[in-house]
């Protein structure tokens, strides 16, 4: 099952559904290797071996290890953005409803795509300047989506925080951090985590 | 200036003061190398060179690259714990006052020791199991310090969160994340960041 099957534009709620894997096998292999050994600790040979490809076969699609990292991390960020946009499009008109939708999208993504999120955040230092700038631009777009909602919530009197931009960043941070401890076999189900973190995130922005 | 000069037991407020560096030169060199290139991307030779030591000279104090990582990360966590304990010891008796003190300590640490905090969190995967367990135990001790305060705040009616443990973890997370963007030349001073994040953290636990 790939992203296109999970996430169908216009198919209500499909942003909540995650299949087992969404990546081409070379990127899936790079993801596993980077998550286990880090970018610097991973060789192209190891990625090829994990993907069941020859080294020349891998190079045919990805001319360098850097190309694998860039393709992997931008694919990850684009999926998050696409899901969050769909969640927002389906939400009700109030900032409170929109806040809940985008926060839930962030939470589910960081549970079901936790390895991707971990590699993207820890290997930013390994990206060349242009790639890093492109990645940061996507990440900033996701952050601004929530920033706008929090600002509108404050303007509408639905949120009382005195620091909308900082509170919005703090909420993103707490959702992103779920990737560092969530485990499918853990004591809390994804739905229970969404319930708890939505309650906490609403408090953080001073939802009335 | 080293930690002992900055942080004087019984010297009120010394937990707020940070000198330029607190690490022996071998650990300071390992920190810089791990932060720039990652643990797997760093050689012992590079650490020795940055520290102005011979490789045998470095090995005399640290028998392996793993020993450098373990010594560095436990030194970091012990400093955070020591500062947080002092902040707590100096705080007033109410959970609200204690919460403010420990959150402020977490915030200042993650501004002034941001590289240390980054390496400790991203290189957990590079720690051997026993070292990792020892590091996690220290980190959990820091988390439990805040958990207890939040629980006592809820019991005393000072905090209204329905999920004290999750809210406590969310607050730690937002303080830790300051390390990823804070810069001494940035637009906000450490005191201004403390003011904003304390307000947001209080909202997160539902301070009344």
Domain count, chain A: 1
Q: pLDDT confidence of A208, banded at 50, 70, 90?
A: confident
CB-CB neighbors (< 8 A) of B174 in chain A: 170, 173-174
At B2, the pLDDT band (50, 70, 90 cuts) reads very low
pLDDT of residue A40: 85
B159 - beta bridge partners?
B207
Whether the predicted pLDDT of A41 surpasses 90: no
**Which CATH number goes with the domain that contains A138?**
1.10.357.10
> For residue A194, what is the nearest residue in chain B, using CA coordinates?
B166
Read off the pLDDT of each residue in A11-16 and give the average, rounded to a whole number.
86
Averaged pLDDT, B139-144: 96
Token digits of residue B33: 């190398």
Per-residue model confidence as pLDDT tens digits over B54-88: 999 999 999 999 999 999 999 999 999 999 999 99
Flag whether pLDDT at A6 surpasses 80. Answer: no
* Interface contact A128, partner B, CB < 8 A: no
Q: Which of A177, A196, A206 sits opposite B203 (nearest CB)?
A: A206
Average pLDDT over residues B107-113: 96
pLDDT at B19 over 90: no
pLDDT above 90 for B34: yes
Per-residue pLDDT at A1: 38
| Mean of pLDDT over chain B | 92
Query: Token pair of A24, please?
Result: 């081409």
Is there a contact between A204 and B199 if contact means CB atoms under 8 Å apart? no
Q: What confidence score (pLDDT) does residue B1 get?
A: 38
Q: Distance from B148 to chain A by nearest Cα, in Å? A: 18
- For the cut 90, the answer to whether the pLDDT of residue A7 exceeds it is no
Under an 8 A CB cutoff, do B170 and A200 touch? yes
C-beta neighbour count of A73 within 10 angstroms: 28
φ, ψ at A159 (rounded to 5°): -120, 145
State the pLDDT at residue B3. 45
Place B5 in a pLDDT band, splitting at 50, 70 and 90: low
CB A142 within 8 A of CB A84: yes
Give the CB-side neighbour count of residue B159, counting CA atoms within 13 A: 32
The whole-number pLDDT of residue A3 equals 45
Q: What is the pLDDT of residues A166-207, one digit of tens each?
A: 999 999 999 999 998 899 999 999 999 999 999 999 999 999
User: CB contact, 8 Å: A159 with chain B?
Assistant: no
Nearest to A170 among B122, B174, B206 (CB): B174
**Average pLDDT for residues B94-117, to the nearest whole number?**
96
- Rg, C-alpha atoms of chain A: 18
Of B41, B122, B174, the CB nearest to A174: B174
Q: How many CB atoms are located within 10 Å of the residue B92 CB?
A: 10
Region B158-171: what's the mean pLDDT? Answer: 97
Residue pair A169/A144 in contact by the 8 Å Cβ criterion: no
Average pLDDT for residues A132-152, to the nearest whole number? 96
Q: Report the mean per-residue pLDDT for chain A.
A: 92
pLDDT tier at B21, thresholds 50, 70, 90: low
Interface of B with A in 30-69 (CB under 8 A): 35-41
Q: Does position A9 have pLDDT exceeding 70, yes or no?
A: no
* A118 phi, psi to nearest 5 deg: -65, -50
Q: Which domain holds residue B77?
A: 3-204
Q: Do B204 and A170 touch (CB under 8 A)?
A: yes
C-alpha neighbours within 13 Å on the C-beta side of residue A202: 20
Residue B31 has φ and ψ, to the nearest 5°, of -60, -50
> Binning pLDDT at 50, 70 and 90, where does residue A5 land?
low
Cβ–Cβ below 8 Å for A126 and B38:
yes
Across B141-146, average pLDDT: 98
């Amino acid at each position: 099952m790939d992203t296109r099957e999970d996430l169908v534009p216009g198919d209500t709620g499909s942003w909540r559904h995650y299949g087992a894997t969404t990546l081409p096998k070379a990127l899936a292999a790079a993801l596993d290797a980077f998550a286990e050994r880090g970018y610097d600790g991973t060789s192209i040979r190891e990625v090829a071996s994990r993907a069941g490809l020859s080294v020349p076969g891998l190079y045919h699609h990805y001319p360098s290890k850097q190309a694998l990292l860039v393709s992997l991390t931008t694919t990850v960020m684009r999926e998050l953005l696409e899901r969050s946009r769909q969640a927002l499009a389906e939400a009700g008109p109030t900032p409170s409803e929109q806040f809940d939708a985008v926060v839930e999208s962030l939470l589910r993504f960081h549970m079901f795509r936790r390895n991707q999120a971990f590699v993207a955040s820890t290997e930013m230092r390994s990206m060349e300047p242009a790639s890093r700038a492109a990645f940061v631009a996507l990440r900033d777009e996701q952050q601004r989506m929530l920033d706008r909602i929090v600002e509108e919530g404050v303007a509408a009197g639905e949120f009382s925080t005195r620091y909308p931009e900082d509170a919005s960043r703090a909420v993103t941070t707490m959702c992103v951090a779920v990737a560092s401890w969530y485990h499918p076999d853990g004591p809390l189900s994804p739905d229970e985590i969404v319930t708890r973190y939505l309650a906490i995130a609403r408090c953080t922005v001073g939802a009335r």
